[in-house]
Structure 1
Amino acid sequence: MKVKRKLKSAFVQSFSGITLSAITVIGLSHSALAVSGKVYLHSPEPDVQRQPQKLAQSSDTGSAERSQLLQQANALFNQGDLTGAEENLRKFIKKFPDDAFGRFQLGNVLFRQKKPDEAISSYQEAIRLQSKYALAYNAIGMVYASQSRWEDAMTEYKKALGINPNYGEALTNFALVLWQTNKKDEALSSLEKALNIFKAQNRAEKVNQVERLLKEIKTAEDPSVS
Structure 2
Amino acid sequence: MSKIMLLLSGRLIVVLGFICYLGRLILLWIKYKNQKQVFWLKEVIVFLFVIYICMVVSVTLFPIPIGFHSNTENIYRSINVMPLVSIIKSISQIGIAYGGDAQFMIGLIVRNVGGNILLLMPLSFLAPLIWNKFKRFKNIMLLGFVISVSIELLQLVETMLSGGWGRITDINDVICNVLGVTVGYLIYKFTFKLIDHFQIKILQKLNSGRSELFDKNNEVEI
TM range (shorter): under 0.3
Which structure would you say has the larger RCO, counting Cα contacts within 8 Å and 6 or more residues apart? 2
- TM-score w.r.t. length of structure 1: 0.24
Choose 1 or 2 for highest CA Rg.
Answer: 2
- TM-score w.r.t. length of structure 2: 0.24
